[in-house]
Chain A
Amino acid sequence: MKSSVITFPGSNCDRDMDVALKKFGFKNKMVWHNDAELPKSDLVVLPGGFSYGDYLRCGSMASKTKIMKSVVNFANSGGIVMGICNGFQILVETGLVPGVLLRNKYLEFICKNVFVKIINNNNAFFKNIDIEVLEFHIAHNEGNYFCTNDQLKEIEDNEQIAINYCDKNGNTEEQFNPNGSIKNIAGIFNKQKNVLGMMPHPERMIDPFLSGEDGSLFFSNLINNLK
């Protein structure tokens, strides 16, 4: 399986993602934002970080780079695209997934483990994961997902919600929401479910000595699903 990780100026989880993808069997290539062409890929990842310093709005300037035109074409033709954290913010700015990501409700950067509940597993990302709740890790300042009521209805009708913040038993009350996201949303799909944007960093959960191992579960499942 071939994957591509896009490096924007200011990306800083690109290496971590490269390490994770390779660990679980992907042949990964790093792709520079100024390149026009995507290499042939089964998966394209927009990594976390602070592309363009998060200046103006997070992800806004990365969404205008050359490579993003190719990523949009790739996604529109059914290619699997995943945006993590800043990558999610870039996806939102390109319009590949609906909504926006606002500053965290308590106005503070948050770095900690959270639990997320898989809402829709009928897709390449979560199919065959047989547990409902995953322990993931977040590290962001702007992860407060917001959309209009009409958009929300559409998202729900199309089953575009991927994961919601919850407690370890899968309860999705407001108190388990770290950043004020509408409906505890931590990740969403596009309509076709081939594009996933999410705030948590599975690449930081691939080793028992790190924050946990649910990222390992996620990646090993993902590569199997794509085969």
Chain B
Amino acid sequence: MKISVIITLKKEVLDPQGKIIQQTLDGMGFNNINEVRQGKYFEINTKENDPHKAKDQVEVMCKKLLANLVIEDYKIIDVQ
């Protein structure tokens, strides 16, 4: 199975990169942007064939390694 995960900084946590990207885009003439947030995207290919089990497994991975829940949120966006 292939599971796709997106990890972003929590909404209330400062995203320095997003902030500067927005400023630069603004300077380039894209003036109608409210906010840019940058995140990480993972594709995890697992031998597990049961989608529920695979999803649960990735959930644990997110909690234990991929995301630091102090500052980040994760979202499993696709399981196939």
Report the stretch among B4-12, B14-22, B71-79 that lies at the interface: B14-22
Complexed CA–CA distance, A64 and B38 (Å): 19
Q: Chain A interface (Cβ within 8 Å of chain B)?
A: 52-53, 55-56, 61, 64-65
List 7 other contacts, CB 8 Å, given A52-B24, A53-B20, A64-B28. A55-B16, A55-B17, A56-B21, A56-B38, A61-B21, A61-B24, A64-B27
Residues of B within 8 A of A64 (CB): 24, 27-28
Of the A-B pairs whose beta carbons lie under 8 Å apart in the complex, a sample of 7, sorted by A's number, is A52-B24, A55-B16, A55-B17, A56-B20, A56-B21, A56-B24, A64-B27
B17 and A56 form a contact (CB under 8 A): yes
Q: When chains A and B are docked, how far (Å) is the Cα of A52 from the Cα of B16?
A: 10
A65 to B17 CA separation, bound complex (whole angstroms) = 17
- Interface-central residue, A55, A56, A64, by most chain B CB under 10 Å: A55
- A178–B24 Cα distance when bound, in Å, is 32
CA distance A53 to B14 in the complex (A): 14
A10 to B, closest residue via Cβ: B20
Give Cα A64–Cα B24 distance, bound, in whole angstroms. 8
Chain A residue nearest in CB terms to B38: A56
Minimum Cβ distance to chain B for residue A109 (Å): 18
CB pair B21 A53 closer than 8 Å: no
Contact check, A52 vs B28: say whether CB atoms are below 8 A apart: no
From residue 20 to 79 of chain B, which have CB atoms closer than 8 A to chain A? 20-21, 24, 27-28, 38
